[in-house]
Structure 1
Amino acid sequence: MASLLAVVLLFLSGVAGLGYQLVWTRMFAVGLGHELTSMLAIVAAFFGGLTLGAFLLDKRISVSRRPALWYAGLELIIGLWALCSALVIPTVNDWARAWLGVEPGLLHFWGVAFIVPFFALLPATLAMGATLPAADRWLAQIKADPRQIALAYSVNTAGAVLGVLAASYALMPLLGYRHTLLALAFINALVALSAGLFYFRKSELLLPGKTSVKKTHKQPAPLFWRLLITGFLGIAYEVVTVRVMAQVLEGTVYSFAAVLAVYLTGTAIGAGLYHRFGRNRDRDRLLTSLLFSLSLVCLAGLSALYLTHGLYWWVRTGLGDSLGAVLLAELTVALPVLLPPTLIMGALFSHLAQSARHVTGGIGWALGVNMAGGLAAPLGAGVVLVPLLGAQWTLIGIALAYWLLLPKFSMISRWAYVFPVLLIVLLPGRLQIVTLRPGESVLEYREGAMASVAVIEQQNERNLRVNNRFQMGGTGVRAQRLQRMQTHVPMLLHPKPVDVLYLGVATGVTAGAALTHRESRIDAVELVPESLALLPYFSPYNAELHENPRVRLYASDARRYVRTSSQQYDVVIGDLFHPGRDGGGLLYTREHFQAIAERLMPGGLYCQWLPLYQMDDLMLRSVIKTFQSVFGKTEAWLAGFDLGYPSLALIAFSGDTASSDVIDRTIGFNESLRQHLHLAAVRSSVQLAGHFLADHRALADYAKGATINTDDHPVILFDAPKFTLKRGVASYDSFAALLNTIQFKEASALPSLSSDADAEFTDRVDAFVKARNLYFATMIDHNDDEADALKGYLQSVETSPDFTLAYAQIVSMAIGKAQKEPETARQWLEKLIAIRPEIPGARDVLYRFTGL
């Protein structure tokens, strides 16, 4: 019964420990940034504290007669500091941003991103590092058997699996970060209380006397190097395989949790198997078998990476699009890559730790050395080796490095070494996972520390794809129109946009459009540095953004940039951030919007673009509610009228907007700008004003009762994947819900442009908006019924001569109809000519058909 209690408490301790790691990593990323370098440095800092705690307290715990009391005290310290960390982390995040500045060098950035979390978490991580030695001594005391390390390690790691899944899928989404820390601290308090009560009620288990030590035990050098190097290689294997699988997995906040759960499950099972079957085996022979087998299965895991894409979609096809189905699909992908190696890694560490155990300690020393190797792996493998060698050769190097640790090569047949060599020779080639549609080819592919980035070419079009998942813009006509209007809508609304900040660069087409505004100076921030390196592939569409002296490009986290920069801007433009992408939801939080408000000059304008095709109604309402909680004068504008990719701008004004006359003069005297706008059918201030959708009051009514998205409780981060994972959902669903709520309101009271405009301008805008709304209603409700669609489009054409999209739609329908039903096509074109004789399009097409 006593041993069962200890096992249960060890399991619960593991639940809390990994839960803390995930929450703390998320909280620090809010301040330090979401670059991979930052995330890896935070993890390394966590390991650093564990390492130090294992070293410092190992001997004291090992010679103590009260390991249960030690264990209770350590758990209590962890819980108490976890509660303190909820207040400490936001404060030290502010310090860290100040120390980093706008453009820190790699070593400077890594140093701050490591040192700040290391010291902020040190009381808790010191205690965590000592819990395994305390648990080992406690179990050994209960069972009167010194060989209990594998059991303690296995049970604690099994608890960590539950901690990962519970924190990621339940606690953080429901409670937010601070309340999750409170829940986990309660677990620590329960464990501490139970261990303390055990100590006071089982005093007969005290050792007969305190161990007296005359001489320090000296560990053999080979054991030290094996623990250190296997710690490095184990974490390095995880870091690199996760980077590769990011090209297959969904890249949401849940994806890493699924992969980490598999990694920990394998480790726990491996340690458990060692405890059951391996702890009494011949030491050197077992070590040789484990190391050689680990080398072999790492190579097999590398081979399995080539099959992950097909395996993922096979599972998704069978299970569907629910969050649970995606979790199972991601677990299935990770299993063949991570489970076999981690089974052996769990057994290997248990074997090495047991070899290090002696009367005055050893377990903490072994854990500390192993984690010291592990804390160097994120930087060494993720930031240095992958960009230098590529993921494939990095993984081959990791697998073969285990050979260096073999105690005796002669214990394994020479022919056995042929198998890993054959696996390497039979690898398909470059480990490049890029899904191509018919006619597409890879023009350029780069593996960086942050992501894998590809330039995809099809005929004369190029697109940028990050981690094979996220399309980040392109050079097609449709894409150019959307990307350029993301610049021109806010820039034309500002009276004199000179200093402009872009949050997000991607292909550079959006930011490059600002160069058509002659006085503009541009700062642009991009999270993925590899994207900046590929900007030349999108020239001339991005106006050679990377070479223009009016442009400064920053490879940085957008959130951190707006917090650390002292520059103020006339216009700030936020890109179409994918809300389901890990970290994307934090670009829609109240704290981020507040930081941007501080970057605006008096009279400045902030435009945040929203990808409505990646948001459901609840998400959209939450973002609008959050936006309006910071800004007192807001409007919603459209990038265009394409329901395939509807994009909404939330615009905050702190001053007056440009008048309609100023906009017309700007367009009239700027040829390059006029060409850009012509592609979007915008030739005047009337047609620009027709992109207006809703004022502040209408948006407030729509968002009433929605949840505000905050740094502490980023609901978008956790809720967005539930929608974005779904297939077969109409891209305009959330847009349609917004339109229904605002009831197709007219623009007669358009706040931005109509206050100083004459009656003719207002009447034309009213007509444009009515025609636009008729077009939207027809597209959404009647596009499958030809007769109703034609009727709706004709009504739109008749309503406004300025709105030309319905006119173009009927011409397109007539061209498609002409081959099989020429008479019907002729009638449609003649109706257009009768309604709008001043527009030559229908007459030209009719002439080509009939020669009349």
Structure 2
Amino acid sequence: MALASRARAFALPTALVLTGAAALVYQVAWGRMLRGVFGVGDLANAAVLAAYFLGLGFGALGGGRIARRAGRPAFAYAALELFVGLYALASLGIVPAIRDAYLAVARDASFGTVSLFRLLLALVVLLPPTLAMGASLPVALAAATGGGEGKAAWAPHAALLYALNTCGAMAGAAAAGFWLVPALGIRSSIVVAAGASALGATLVLVAWRGAGRAVPAPAEEQAPGRPGLAAVLVAMGGFVSLASEVLWTRILGLVVQGTTQAFAAMLATFLCGIALGGALAGRWLRAMTRHALAYAITQLGVALGTVWAMAAIAQSPRAIGLLTRSPNLTPSQTWVLVVVAAATLLPMAICIGATVPIAWRLATGGGEGMPRAAARVLAFNTIGGLVGSLTAALLLVPSLGVDLTAIVLVGVSLAAAAIAARADLTRHQLARAVALLGPTALYAVVLLFEPSVHLQYLMRARDLPVDAVFGGPWAAEWAKPIVFLREGRNATVTVQRVGSRSLQLLNDGRPESGISVVEPGFGVELVALGTLPTLRAARTERAAVVGLGAGHVVTTLLAGGWHQVDAIELEGSVVDAARLMHKALGRPFPLDDRRARTIVDDGRARIAAAPPGRYDAIVSQPSHPWLAGASVLYTREFFADVLRALRRGGVFVLWVNRFRMDLPHLRQIVATVSRTFPDVEGFGTPNDLILVASAGGARVAQGEVSRRLGAAPALTRILEAARAWPIERLLSAEDLDRRAAMRFGRGAASITDDRPTFEYGLSHLPVATWVTLPDLDRALRRVAWTPPPGDPASRARLLLARIDAVRGRPVALARIELGLAALELPGSLDDLVRGALAEARGDAAGAQSSWARTDAPEALIRRVRLLAEEGKDAQAVLAVAGARDPPADASFAGGLAALRLGRWQQAASLFERAGPGLDTDARRTAGAAARLVRARAAGACGEPEDDAALRSDPDLLWTAAVCALDAGAFARGQRLAAFADVARRSRAVALGDLGAMLAGGGNDRAAVRALRLALRHNPAHGAAAGALARLVAKSGVAGKDEAKRILETALQAARGLPRTVDQLLATAAQLDIEITIEGFASSADQDATSTVSPAGMAGSGE
């Protein structure tokens, strides 16, 4: 008998831990599975939450009845858990089946009908298991007390079991969030959880084997309790508990980012606090007699815990900086997430955890019928939690904001404390008054001090880590740049000023888009997202954009002539923010165009519900893929929905970040898209990769592309402003064609809804992890780069644009050369391209040799420019003069060369010949230059007539300055001379930057050439001289001697520029070069002194 008693004492607590863990795994897994059906919008989440908590609440009520009537409550508990486990296994087939039913209705139904149908389907799926889960704890408590007989120690024992069950839930939340789902997948996690349910049921069945039937207690013997009061109080407590969970998940998401691991850490910490509170309440219940007063104390603790959480979260960026000893205030380490969540939530959660056991004792007074009373308490607590979570998510936070919502919850907790205290303090009028006035006074104090989470500080801290850590949240500057802030149902949306010319859009503190006064107002990656559908789709009729951002993709699509564009945005506040941004800069808002349609809903759900073949293009620009909600837009299942929603010949364009990304994860994305679509391309932009996937059909002919661009002048203007025109400049960014995409993704696992390793893996990457375009080149070094099929001339133009674009990437140049043999271009075009390749590699002689063999007009342009850059102006003029019909750009370059030689008449003739073939601005410059040099040749130059037209070239500006001085216009002459000097220095800076970029990419030969050119324009360019010296010094003694000459020449030119001199002397010291020219310190002197400027030289203000 004693052995059986010990077995039962072990079996039931163990079973409650196991089934508590299984319940949270089910919640996480079913939530993710239904997210794939309904989407991640607020109403979709509310439908799932409502179904789940309704089931738990009504299940608890039913559990009380079962506990009272069951002869063997232990067997009933085991049966309930076995049913949950079996249903969980069945759900693996049920959820996919309801997806088909949902899509069948959603394709034609209104938004309201779809929302109601979501709730109905969620109830169908979740009510059966949640009813059983809700009933299981009351029945388990009945089993622990032998069928409900009254025992003085019932409440403490029940509190311990409640704490153990919650402890299991904590373990399940942590296991699902950190290990089960990423390691095994959602379906396998459900199987593991079903095994835990079955194991718990089996332990109870074995331990109670042979036990007799329990005798229910007669109703008339129940001790007096306060069930009505307990129900009201515990419902208020449940309201605060679940509303707090929603609220603090939202706030902590601003600090730790909205990753699944962050949510798991927060939920596990919250449940840990509840488990601790339940265990502490069990010990407290042994001594307490005033149960309502005890409940009041816990609610007082919840209120103070909420105020503490507001103060703690406002210091969390500083705490993260101190914990990680890093300027990165977005933690990816699990332990940091747990510490931040615990420091914020644990005090409040412990107090919340104590409320249910105390309410049990309050409801029964410690007498008979306690399991049934416990069931009622659990039911009211759960229903209160349901109302609280929905109210917080859909009403309080969107309408009041997080600060006021927290203060409202403090008020509800203090109201519950006042009600409970007044119920226990009935004998003395003064005590009753204190019970009412004490919480009221405390609430007044809270309102007086206006506690705040300092939302603006939390959102901007990661961008200004030093100010955040040392300055704290109280500085007024945190709010100054913010011009729009709205706490929507799904995200906190802000718009902030960046300098004086730009605005930035942020969701939960993460940059999403922006707008600038500089045309076109947005980056080239957005230009590409909006332009590529126009170039690749078979028809330009109907497009969808998933994720509005600031609306720039919609703007570009409309400029491309699309007939209808559906903009699908999850958060309605983003639409208002984007409208404000456009209005602030005086730009038309694209969604006001009659061809645009705004849809505020979940993008994945909308695409899934679209009729087959509805769209000709779908552009997806979701938020960052390591976030829990956005990651579903990178899975195989979503891509399959996209393919089904596209018409044949349609295209899918996907934005992929290369920041916070590594090659294995990038391979996963490319592999997943390539296994879904028959043809995939990838276009590299400075920070991103744009994937373009075709739904089949022939590629759009070049003639049709030209026709579309010719009919879309607004798009052409956008491309010109973004420096992506001619169109070959944009198309030359293609780093992956179909062959390269297949090769790049080979062997990588597909991203699926079931096993979200992609999302989990990215969330653990340091923020500074990048995949650079050279990284991509090295991964594809054996895959030839070839332009798409087309006529030889267009392919040659694209090759030239590609060479110009990747000159800093030697492996990319090698891929081009690898593909040239297979292209079989005509000889003249082949020589043109090979010459460009040689020039890009710094081989000027090889380039000239190739271009001399071809009569292609582009070859002459490039040849003349190269000769001029090399200082061979006479040869440049001769090459133009010897051509039968030189292109306008070659004539203009020849005119500049003749100008430098002082051949005024020849220069004027070449400028005049060039004029008609140039674009508007260049034609204006050529005309002004021709008039200037003719006047100069005639010796009657006078004042230059058009200063602005001459500012594109320092030689033209200098000639104009001389003319002005000769005419006696000294002020204008000095101004033009200053402009000429600025233009010369600017050109040197550009060439120096190019040289640094080429050197960084490993193209040393081309880098040396660019840096020499920089020094020709500005011999005192310290950075260029230092970089050139370091490059040439690599070649041994001779190189070191040349490096010394370079540095000494630059030092001579830099006299009067102390900072430049210091820079050059530091480079000499690094290379162990002794500077011997008079007035400068040698490298030997550097050992004894700090960096030395020329003797007696004052600062020059360079």
Instruction: Give TM class, smaller chain.
Output: 0.7 to 0.9
In the other structure, the counterpart of 1:55 is 61
How far apart in 2 are the matches of 1:714 and 1:809?
A: 49
Q: In the superposition, relative to structure 1, how do residues 76 and 101 fare at CA in structure 2: closer, same or farther (>3 Å)?
A: same
How far apart in 2 are the matches of 1:761 and 1:69?
A: 79
In the other structure, the counterpart of 1:847 is none
- Maintained 8 Å contact 1:37/1:379: no
1:376 matched to 2:376? The reply is no
In the other structure, the counterpart of 1:773 is 806
In the other structure, the counterpart of 1:655 is 697
1:694 matched to 2:736? The reply is yes
In the other structure, the counterpart of 2:448 is 425
The alpha carbon displacement at 1:543 in A equals 4.1
The alpha carbon displacement at 1:740 in A equals 1.5
Letter in 1 for 2:174: L
Q: Which has the larger radius of gyration?
A: 2
Letter in 2 for 1:633: D
How far apart in 2 are the matches of 1:796 and 1:652?
A: 41
In the other structure, the counterpart of 1:396 is 407
**Structure 1: runs of 5+ lacking an equivalent:** 782-789, 830-852
In the other structure, the counterpart of 1:407 is 420
In the other structure, the counterpart of 1:449 is 489
In the other structure, the counterpart of 1:732 is 771
The alpha carbon displacement at 1:108 in A equals 4.9
Q: Secondary structure at the match of 1:425?
A: helix
- Maintained 8 Å contact 2:65/2:372: yes
Instruction: Report 1:302-451 matches (<5 A).
Output: 302-317=310-325, 326-357=333-364, 358-359=368-369, 361-405=372-416, 406-409=419-422, 410=431, 418-427=441-450, 431-433=454-456, 434-435=459-460, 441-451=481-491
In the other structure, the counterpart of 1:569 is 615
In the other structure, the counterpart of 1:532 is 575
Stretch of structure 1 that moved more, 811-820 or 225-234: 811-820
In the other structure, the counterpart of 2:627 is 581
How far apart in 2 are the matches of 1:670 and 1:116?
A: 46
Q: Secondary structure at the match of 1:650?
A: strand
1:168 matched to 2:177? The reply is yes
How far apart in 1 are the matches of 2:614 and 2:987?
A: 43
CA deviations on 1:193-237 (whole Å, 9 max, x unpaired) are: 111011115x26x54x34444799996432221122211121111
CA deviations on 1:689-737 (whole Å, 9 max, x unpaired) are: 31222222221122111111122223322222122xx0333x334x433
Stretch of structure 1 that moved more, 261-270 or 279-288: 279-288
- Maintained 8 Å contact 2:529/2:690: no
How far apart in 2 are the matches of 1:614 and 1:311?
A: 23
In the other structure, the counterpart of 1:468 is 509
How far apart in 2 are the matches of 1:795 and 1:824?
A: 25
Letter in 2 for 1:704: R
CA deviations on 1:792-827 (whole Å, 9 max, x unpaired) are: 675699979899xx9999752448998999216599
How far apart in 2 are the matches of 1:226 and 1:428?
A: 25
Stretch of structure 1 that moved more, 20-29 or 597-606: 597-606
In the other structure, the counterpart of 2:1079 is none
Match of residue 296, structure 2, among 262, 280, 288: 288
How far apart in 2 are the matches of 1:280 and 1:452?
A: 46
**How much is the aligned-residue C-alpha RMSD, in angstroms?**
3.5
1:615 matched to 2:661? The reply is yes
How far apart in 2 are the matches of 1:36 and 1:183?
A: 29
Letter in 2 for 1:77: F
Residues paired across the two proteins, number:
801
The alpha carbon displacement at 1:83 in A equals 0.3
Match of residue 274, structure 1, among 272, 275, 281: 281
Q: In the superposition, relative to structure 1, how do residues 59 and 667 fare at CA in structure 2: closer, same or farther (>3 Å)?
A: closer
**Paired-residue identity, %:** 22
How far apart in 2 are the matches of 1:797 and 1:133?
A: 89
The alpha carbon displacement at 1:248 in A equals 1.0
Q: Secondary structure at the match of 2:325?
A: helix
Letter in 2 for 1:426: F
Q: In the superposition, relative to structure 1, how do residues 362 and 612 fare at CA in structure 2: closer, same or farther (>3 Å)?
A: same
How far apart in 2 are the matches of 1:22 and 1:622?
A: 24
The alpha carbon displacement at 1:573 in A equals 1.3
1:30 matched to 2:36? The reply is yes
Q: In the superposition, relative to structure 1, how do residues 513 and 700 fare at CA in structure 2: closer, same or farther (>3 Å)?
A: same
Q: In the superposition, relative to structure 1, how do residues 791 and 329 fare at CA in structure 2: closer, same or farther (>3 Å)?
A: farther
Q: In the superposition, relative to structure 1, how do residues 427 and 327 fare at CA in structure 2: closer, same or farther (>3 Å)?
A: farther
1:196 matched to 2:205? The reply is yes
The alpha carbon displacement at 1:621 in A equals 1.3
The alpha carbon displacement at 1:512 in A equals 1.1
Instruction: Report 1:245-256 matches (<5 A).
Output: 245-256=252-263
Letter in 1 for 2:700: A
Q: In the superposition, relative to structure 1, how do residues 356 and 110 fare at CA in structure 2: closer, same or farther (>3 Å)?
A: farther
**Structure 2: runs of 5+ lacking an equivalent:** 1-5, 423-430, 465-476, 815-837, 848-857, 870-985, 995-1010, 1026-1102
How far apart in 1 are the matches of 2:785 and 2:988?
A: 25
Match of residue 130, structure 1, among 132, 135, 143: 135
In the other structure, the counterpart of 1:844 is none
Instruction: Report 1:621-770 matches (<5 A).
Output: 621-638=667-684, 640=685, 642=686, 645-668=687-710, 670-723=712-765, 726-729=766-769, 731-733=770-772, 735-743=773-781, 747-748=785-786, 750-751=787-788, 755-757=789-791, 759-770=792-803
In the other structure, the counterpart of 1:840 is none
In the other structure, the counterpart of 1:19 is 25
How far apart in 1 are the matches of 2:19 and 2:512?
A: 41
CA deviations on 1:645-683 (whole Å, 9 max, x unpaired) are: 132323224223333344344445543222211133332
Q: Secondary structure at the match of 2:98?
A: helix
Letter in 1 for 2:93: L
Stretch of structure 1 that moved more, 49-58 or 459-468: 49-58
Q: In the superposition, relative to structure 1, how do residues 495 and 42 fare at CA in structure 2: closer, same or farther (>3 Å)?
A: closer
- Maintained 8 Å contact 1:589/1:626: yes
How far apart in 1 are the matches of 2:616 and 2:10?
A: 65
In the other structure, the counterpart of 2:939 is none
Instruction: Report 1:95-110 matches (<5 A).
Output: 95-101=101-107, 105=111, 108=113
Q: In the superposition, relative to structure 1, how do residues 809 and 89 fare at CA in structure 2: closer, same or farther (>3 Å)?
A: farther
Q: Secondary structure at the match of 2:807?
A: helix
The alpha carbon displacement at 1:191 in A equals 0.9
What is the TM-score of this pair, normalised by structure 1?
0.87
Q: In the superposition, relative to structure 1, how do residues 827 and 716 fare at CA in structure 2: closer, same or farther (>3 Å)?
A: closer
Stretch of structure 1 that moved more, 519-528 or 135-144: 135-144
CA deviations on 1:3-57 (whole Å, 9 max, x unpaired) are: 1332122111111111111111111111111113322331231111111111123
Q: Secondary structure at the match of 2:653?
A: strand
1:258 matched to 2:265? The reply is yes
The alpha carbon displacement at 1:94 in A equals 2.9
Q: Secondary structure at the match of 2:599?
A: strand
The alpha carbon displacement at 1:110 in A equals 5.0
How far apart in 1 are the matches of 2:739 and 2:749?
A: 18
Match of residue 81, structure 1, among 81, 84, 87: 87
How far apart in 2 are the matches of 1:34 and 1:798?
A: 58
Q: In the superposition, relative to structure 1, how do residues 796 and 539 fare at CA in structure 2: closer, same or farther (>3 Å)?
A: farther
The alpha carbon displacement at 1:320 in A equals 8.2
The alpha carbon displacement at 1:354 in A equals 2.5
Q: In the superposition, relative to structure 1, how do residues 265 and 109 fare at CA in structure 2: closer, same or farther (>3 Å)?
A: farther
CA deviations on 1:345-394 (whole Å, 9 max, x unpaired) are: 11111100232244272111111111011111222111011112221111
Q: Secondary structure at the match of 2:803?
A: helix
1:555 matched to 2:600? The reply is yes
The alpha carbon displacement at 1:330 in A equals 2.0
Instruction: Report 1:798-809 matches (<5 A).
Output: none
- Maintained 8 Å contact 2:804/2:840: no
